[in-house]
Amino acid sequence: MSQVRKPAVAGYFYPADPSKLKDEVNLLLQITASENIPEKLFGIVCPHAGYTYSGKTAAYGYNLLNKNKIKTVVILSPSHREYFPGVSVYDGDAYQTPLGTVPVNKKITDLLVQKSKTIFKGAEGHKQEHAIEVQIPFLQLVLDDFEIVPIVMGDQGKLYIDELADKLTETVDNETIVVSSSDLSHYYSGDIASQMDSIVERDINNFNYSELQENFERGRCEACGAGTIIALMKSADNRKFNKSRVLDRCDSGDITGDKHEVVGYLSAAFYGE
């Protein structure tokens, strides 16, 4: 009997009704369509708040995906609801959204955990986590026939970042892309959030993950999925995909009009010549 991870935040972060969900995502993709699409795309960073707040920013990233080339999407997520040491690759068979079921790529899952002391197969971090789930409807509407590798970082310390980056370097092929699911600063005023989030934007545009990692560690900027961003950038660099571009940045106050306490969002692309 197959093990399918059921939707946990449908009707909360995004519409539970399939037709409404499809219409909303298609509209977001339509208003963020890009003609400047990198041919050799390694990965993207996308936010994971409710679609009302961050869906447009995420759509800028998903518009770059080439449905003819991509067969597998590795999704890197922080763990919002539970702490555990290590990196959990979903051990089930599929993730489900209102738009249908997406199978897990067991071959890549096996390769990621092989001979690793920190990356393991399990359900830890996957049960109620929204950061992976909210990415999947976008994928379902921009890709045709694809599989996913859902990964939750229970600890985003340097040890786990480096191990994940190395394993991604070994396993990602030219039919695979990596998605880092992350929001930026949380609950600062709009001005302070903009100052902090602009550091992330600058370091990504400069493809300087060493500086970005130091800025995260020193508290100069924040991202709930900081480790997922660094792991993506390190593995991209290892594979000679060392070009980057921030696609969009905003905060929740741009939607609500309330800049007293905001959450920051950013999308970015990592690619090669």
Residue 249 three-state SS: strand
Average pLDDT over all residues of the chain? 97
Encoded tokens for 32: 């963020």
115-161 residue pLDDT tens: 999 999 999 999 999 999 999 999 999 999 999 999 999 999 999 99
User: What Rg, from alpha-carbon coordinates, does the chain have?
Assistant: 17
User: Are 234 and 259 a contacting pair, CB within 8 Å?
Assistant: no
Name the band, by pLDDT with cuts 50, 70 and 90, for residue 34: confident
Name the band, by pLDDT with cuts 50, 70 and 90, for residue 212: very high
First-last CA distance in the chain: 44
Cα distance between residue 243 and residue 248, in whole Å: 16
CATH for 102: 3.40.830.10
Residue type, 29: L
44-96 residue pLDDT tens: 999 999 999 999 999 999 999 988 899 999 999 999 999 999 999 999 999 99
225-238 residue pLDDT tens: 999 999 999 999 99
Q: Does the pLDDT of residue 1 top 80, yes or no?
A: no
Into how many domains does the chain fold? 1
Residue 230 three-state SS: helix
Q: Is 222 left (phi over 0), alpha (psi -120 to 50) or beta?
A: beta
